[in-house]
């Protein structure tokens, strides 16, 4: 008599099954058969409880840290293993983590509707026109760049406290009139959908399993982050050490950000270059190197205010502070470039094909850039900007300090 729990050698050994709050009632016959035939099952305690009547093999609750459970799953390669997940395992789910270690050919995935799909269906929102973001185990500040007037956002939360934290963020940022809808335990017996205005938030007893929907309304003075490069200087907290708006736009253009790349911002000042770099795409990475403790703290505050809390701030001066950092795809040198060893260290660390952009306002730094341009080539431009200001009772053009900019691509 054969054991139907021994898989065919050519069939996937790992099955990842998405569950809804309706548990077994929402599963198809194939998913039920896989659960019953599994030698070992992994999942959250809630997942295992939902399918408990079908479990015939061993069941294991996820360990902490989660990497320990991934190792346990990988150790069972060749046995029929089932992993239980919430909704769609490949939409901010466990499937994404497992796929980093298990080839797709070794996995069979049976997804359920994601929380985003269920929420959109309850609200009548077009999912392709809605911003989706996960705040599960992540700072609520990540929503800030998406707060565009008239936009719709679905935010996956961590727990019952996140909706109130989100309402507070919306209110203090000038979006207090936005409609906030909390959708709890979607698809299950405890489902509840409640809408209110963010600044009037007073909802209690929220289910830890919830997703928040935001219909963004910008009040007067709301902190809306424009989608163009070269954000207004007034949006940044700074002490005057900031790459000014127009020069910053040209600098970012020369840095030519590409998805997922890492930037070093040496002599970061207010952190404006690294912050705008990260705003280009959620996959961007940046390291701000700043010698002043006061400015380093200011950079961290700016990063939070712009919704890019993942900006890494290294307190120290180049070149010593560069040791041990991940190699960059791009480097910007806005301060300290004339110090001995800084340019050489940046060039050495830069990955092949990477871009280096350096700005100079002092004659000493300009001399360094002229020398590097003569030896290495690249592009050298001079940026002259004048602004209208009062001249007695009239107005006139007042020139800003000219900026010399050298940009270079490493062979």
pLDDT computed for residue 11 by the predictor: 81
* pLDDT classification of 8: cutoffs 50, 70, 90: low
Q: What is the mean pLDDT of residues 182-196?
A: 96
**Are 181 and 213 a contacting pair, CB within 8 Å?**
yes
pTM, 2 dp: 0.91
Q: Among 155, 262, 268, which Cα is nearest to 216's?
A: 155
DSSP class per residue in 134-199: E-TTS-GGGGGGG--TT-EEEEE-SSTTHHHHHHHHHHHTT-TTSEEEEEESTTSTT-EEEEEEGG
In sequence order, what are the residues at sequence separation of 6 or more whose Cβ sits closer than 8 angstroms to the Cβ of residue 90?
96, 99, 109, 111
pLDDT computed for residue 2 by the predictor: 42
* pLDDT classification of 9: cutoffs 50, 70, 90: low
Residue 3 has pLDDT above 50, yes or no: no
* pLDDT classification of 102: cutoffs 50, 70, 90: very high
Give the tokens for residue 305: 């205010």
**Are 142 and 307 a contacting pair, CB within 8 Å?**
yes
pLDDT computed for residue 350 by the predictor: 98
Residue 141 has pLDDT above 90, yes or no: yes
* pLDDT classification of 1: cutoffs 50, 70, 90: very low
Residue 307 has pLDDT above 60, yes or no: yes
Give the tokens for residue 128: 């392709």
Residues 316-367: tens digit of each pLDDT: 999 999 999 999 999 999 988 889 999 999 999 999 999 999 999 999 999 9
* pLDDT classification of 123: cutoffs 50, 70, 90: very high
What percent of the chain shows pLDDT beyond 90?
94
- 243: buried, middle or exposed (CB in 10 Å: 19+, 13-18, 0-12)? buried
Residues 372-408: tens digit of each pLDDT: 999 999 999 999 999 999 999 999 999 999 999 999 9
Phi and psi (nearest 5°) for 154? Answer: -110, 120
pLDDT computed for residue 10 by the predictor: 65
Average pLDDT, rounded, for the chain: 95
End-to-end CA distance of the chain: 66
Q: Among 271, 275, 235, which Cα is nearest to 257's?
A: 275
Residue 122 has pLDDT above 90, yes or no: yes
Residue 382: strand pairing partners:
404
**Are 290 and 269 a contacting pair, CB within 8 Å?**
yes
Q: How far is CA 309 from CA 132, 143, 289, 305, in A?
A: 18, 11, 15, 8
Q: What is the mean pLDDT of residues 98-120?
A: 95
Residue 215 has pLDDT above 90, yes or no: yes
Q: What is the mean pLDDT of residues 270-278?
A: 98
Residue 274 has pLDDT above 60, yes or no: yes
Phi and psi (nearest 5°) for 397? Answer: -85, 125
């Amino acid at each position: 008599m054969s054991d139907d729990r021994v898989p065919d050698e050519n069939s996937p050994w790992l099955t990842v099954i998405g569950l809804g709050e309706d548990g077994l009632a929402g599963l198809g016959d194939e998913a039920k058969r896989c659960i019953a035939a599994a030698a070992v099952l992994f999942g959250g305690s809630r997942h295992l409880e939902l399918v408990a009547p079908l479990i015939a093999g061993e069941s294991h609750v996820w360990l902490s840290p989660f990497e320990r459970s991934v190792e346990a799953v990988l150790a069972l390669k060749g046995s029929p293993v089932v992993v239980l997940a919430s909704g769609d395992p490949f939409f901010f789910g466990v499937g994404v983590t497992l796929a980093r270690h298990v080839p797709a050919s070794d996995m069979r995935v049976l997804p359920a509707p994601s929380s985003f799909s269920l929420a959109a269906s309850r609200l009548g929102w077009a999912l392709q026109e809605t911003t989706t973001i996960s705040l599960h185990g992540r700072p609520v500040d990540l929503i800030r760049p998406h707060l565009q007037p008239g936009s719709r956002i679905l935010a996956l939360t961590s727990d019952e406290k996140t909706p109130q934290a989100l309402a507070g963020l919306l209110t203090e940022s000038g979006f207090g009139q936005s409609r906030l809808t909390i959708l709890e335990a979607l698809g299950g017996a405890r489902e509840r959908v409640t809408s209110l205005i963010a600044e009037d938030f007073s909802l209690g007893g929220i289910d830890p399993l919830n997703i928040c929907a935001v219909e963004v309304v910008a009040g007067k003075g709301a902190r809306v982050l424009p989608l163009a490069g070269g954000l207004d200087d007034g949006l940044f907290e700074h002490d005057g050490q900031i790459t000014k708006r127009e020069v910053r736009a040209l600098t970012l253009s020369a840095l030519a950000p590409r998805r997922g790349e890492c930037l070093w911002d040496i002599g970061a000042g207010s952190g404006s270059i690294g912050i705008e770099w990260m705003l280009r795409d959620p996959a961007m990475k940046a390291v701000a190197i700043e010698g002043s403790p006061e400015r380093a703290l200011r950079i961290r505050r700016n990063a939070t205010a712009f919704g890019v809390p993942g900006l890494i701030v290294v307190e120290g001066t180049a070149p010593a502070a560069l040791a041990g950092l991940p190699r960059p795809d791009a480097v910007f040198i806005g301060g300290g470039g004339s110090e001995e060893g800084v340019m050489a260290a940046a060039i050495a660390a830069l990955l092949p094909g990477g871009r280096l952009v350096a700005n100079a306002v002092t004659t000493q730094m300009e001399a360094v850039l002229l020398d590097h341009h003569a030896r290495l080539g690249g592009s050298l431009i001079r940026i002259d900007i004048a602004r209208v200001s009062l001249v007695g009772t009239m107005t006139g053009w007042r020139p800003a300090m000219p900026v010399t900019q050298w940009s270079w691509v490493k062979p």
